[in-house]
């Protein structure tokens, strides 16, 4: 059975966390974001949906992606967050990042 993603958290302090199910086994894995080669593509994809009137730079407190629902981008500082619907996100980028996190020691 394939891994079923529930939530992907990308924390601005330098960790990435994957939560989901691998068959009957619950998975909750957090790793250092440094060295994750597929991270930037996911961050850039979510950031690309920033509302035009939002002046937030590409620095985030957290990006939370909920499978088949949406991604929430929470900027660092005093900027408004925004939500992007799941259908607009690049699934291949998300899948690559999840796979990379799951293969980390």
pLDDT-derived band of residue 2, with 50, 70 and 90 as boundaries?
Answer: confident
Rg of the chain taking only CA atoms, in angstroms: 13
Contacts of 40 (CB under 8 A, 6+ apart): none
Q: What rounded mean pLDDT belongs to the chain?
A: 96
Is 90 exceeded by the pLDDT of residue 1? no
Per the DSSP assignment, residues forming a β-bridge with 28 are 19
Helix H or strand E encompassing 45: helix 39-47
């Amino acid at each position: 059975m394939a891994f079923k993603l529930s939530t992907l958290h990308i924390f601005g302090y330098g960790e990435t966390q994957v939560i989901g199910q691998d068959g009957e086994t619950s998975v909750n894995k957090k790793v250092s974001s440094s060295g994750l080669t597929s991270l930037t593509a996911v961050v850039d994809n979510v950031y690309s949906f920033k509302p035009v009137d939002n002046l937030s730079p590409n620095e985030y407190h957290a990006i939370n992606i909920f499978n088949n629902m949406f991604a929430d981008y929470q900027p660092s500082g005093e900027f408004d967050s925004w939500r992007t619907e799941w259908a607009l996100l690049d699934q291949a980028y998300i899948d690559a990042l999840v796979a990379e996190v799951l293969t980390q020691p």
